[in-house]
Structure 1
Amino acid sequence: MSRVTALVAEDEAPQRRALVEQLGQLWPELSLCAVCEDGVAALEAARAQRPQVAFLDIRMPGVGGLDVAREVVAHGGLVVFTTAYDDYAVHAFEAGAADYLLKPVQSERLAQAVARLRQRLEERRAGAAAPDLQALLEELEARLRPRGERLIRWITASVGDSVRMIGIDEVLFFQAQDKYVRVATATGDAVIRTPLKEIVAGLDPDVFWQVHRGAVVRVAAIDRLVRNELGRYGLRLRNPPETLPVSAPFLHRFRGM
């Protein structure tokens, strides 16, 4: 088989190194066009390199594996997800639309995934119909959307020398600042130590959008998308009148605004 290009995206360094090493042993002709430690870099690499295969962590800082997968699939690529949670193994995986690996990745299981990818690539070369990967991604996104007890309802935050209980309905945006995360409301700011990545996992994605590696905003608080003289984008909020940065991987959210 001719060389196949691949993208690896995993935010945990030991897991990333192990996966790259295992792939080198199991699939010597695989050509790694990018090895990324976060979702933003992975999305940029997917757009630039258009890999035939991508091994993606579902949960990554900045941009999740599903967003990267959409870019890969849009250009005809195949996807294998890595995850620490087996509840993501939905029926679509068993149907063969894509594959998943539980972390830490076992060599035997990776060998199975590689064999399936090789077979899928051969079938494509032979003209076989491709499965509906976009449908799989939509199903996965629905499964991953936090519901019920997984949704954040209250934020316990520091305000000066006191601790304040903030209802999630009060929050306008979260913004990473050094070792803290700023929690902005209409009546003032507070800070928390919880990483932004963990906060995002507990937010309703229909209510809050991540717009930058370090910023998550309530959609209803957005007034408009603006661009400055340097060509950089920002979100102007209604109240308070503040502007948050928007990075390129998230601009697709504002098409039609």
Structure 2
Amino acid sequence: MCGFSGVLGAGQNTQFISDMLNADGVPTRHKVSIWHNKTVIKILQNEKYSGDVLFQKTFSPGPLSRCVINRGELPQYWLEDAFPAIIDKKLWRITQYEYRRRAGYNLSHLSPEHPFTGRFFCGLFGRTVVQSSIATYGRFINIWWRCSTKITRFKKADDETREEVRVSFGRPEQIFMQAWNLIISKRQMYVARLKKVAEMDESELTRYHASEMLRLMDEVGKIMEFDYMLSMKTLDHVELNPDGKLTMVFRSGIRITI
């Protein structure tokens, strides 16, 4: 259960969840083994936890062959309510949407020390914005966020040549604080917008995130310092604009440019 709530409610990646389970001493089904990232992923994607069963996930091509994943070679069959569910069906279903949504992000290095790694993008090219530093006599100075098109080891042959925009280290955290506090200061307007999204948006995942953001607005209020967990629960990604401004894109669909 903590894995599903961790991905949705806390916004954590599967590596963080496996590390947390190991740190808490939670046993696996084998009792003596440790939790791995792939183990958590298999649990999150296993429909049996919601009480349903998908038949013919794998098949044997021949009498002496090992089972292989069914990638459309044979029909599959979904049986609902095959046995009592361990988790709510809606929670399982939304977790699948969230997991697929994150497929385009590399969040393996996301941490409180690096809260925007893997979810900071160039608004012009769509490429990742990464940290870059200048080393002088073994010391690192002037740490910047830079579009990966401007860093030699990340460049691609078809990258366009444009004037570089750099973002100072620590600025994304400051902009997140400003964006969140702006939403809180204009609570009436954003509450009305979020309620509409939570009730009418065609995406079940977006409706869920809008409801969660409404709850967090009431619970958290204004913040005086960067809140990593709040950013994990509410923020989808950050976009760097050509004019140097940053756009905070929240999972509920709200976009704030500062």
Structure showing greater Rg:
2
Bigger strand share: 1
Structure with the larger RCO, 1 or 2 (CA within 8 Å, 6+ apart): 2
TM-score normalised over the length of structure 1: 0.24
